[in-house]
Every structure is written in C-alpha cells, then in structure tokens.
Amino acid sequence: MFRGIYKVSLDERGRIAVPVRFREMLRGRSSGKVVVTIDPRDRCLLLYPLEDWSTVEKELTDLANLKPQARYLQRTVVGHALDVEMDNAGRVLLSPTLREYAGLKKRVAVLGQANKLELWDEETLNANLTDWLEQGNQAMGDLDGLDGVHL
C-alpha cells in the first residue's frame, strides 16, 4: 500500500527519483516496471505498478465503448499510458506530453494512494489542497453512499 506524501525534484531530462519507501515497494511488486498515465479528473499523473495497471486497463478496455464516458476514460487513461522502467537509481522518466499535462515544473509531490501514486506539481497540489480543505466541511456534510466508512 502506498501512503504518505514526499517532495522530489524533476531533473533536466524529465526524471523523478521515486522516494525510497515507494521504490522498494515498486521493485518488490513489479520489478520496477510501472505505467504512468494522466488522471482524467485532475491535472496530475498516475503511476501504477505494472500488475495493478493490468487490472485497471482490463476494466477500462472491457467497458462498452459506445458510451461516451467509457470512450472518454479509454482515450484519456489508456490512451496516454506509458510503460516505464525504473532505473538502477530509482528514477522514472516522464514523457514531455505527460509532464505538460500535469504542469510539472521543478518540484513534484508524490502522493501515495493505496494501489498507485499521484504525481503533482508541488504548487498545484498546494493550491488544490487549500481549496479541498476549504470545501471539506461542505463535502463531508453529505456522506450518502459512504455507509460503513470509518476514519
């Protein structure tokens, strides 16, 4: 399980060094083979261990592509997905297209999200976090559909 937030630098070649804790998990789960794609809701990237990505990809490709929502997810998530292998130094190369989509500059926030990592431009994440916290009380007011969730 990926948990926690770490700040890393994007180098001049477009690589990030995966935080050591996550690096060890990625090597253990998928021998350092990962898939990076865009998040269809937010301006961030999603990094999956290859095994977990295979499950996500199958679910998306099994959707009936006659539905606009299914085509949207297939085009955005599957269509932008790139196979990447972590190098010996624990770095992952992010393509220019993916970096541009997420607006990644020099500082990148790596956010653990259970089965995947989110890669955010640090400033963008901080701005979103401020908004999320301001909206939090309103969002938490309606918990329909979250029966059984305990924090």
Q: Show the domains of the chain with their CATH numbers.
A: 5-137 (3.40.1550.20)
* Cα Rg of the chain, angstroms: 16
Q: For the whole model, what pTM was predicted?
A: 0.90
Using DSSP's 3-state secondary structure scheme, residue 39 falls into coil
- Expressed in percent and rounded to 5, the helix, strand and coil fractions of the chain are 40, 30, 30
- Which pLDDT score is estimated for 134? 82
Name the least confident of 14-23, 98-107, 131-140: 131-140
Q: How remote is the C-alpha of 50 from its chain's centroid?
A: 13
The pLDDT tens digits for 76-111 are: 999 999 999 999 999 999 999 999 999 999 999 999
Q: How remote is the C-alpha of 30 from its chain's centroid?
A: 16
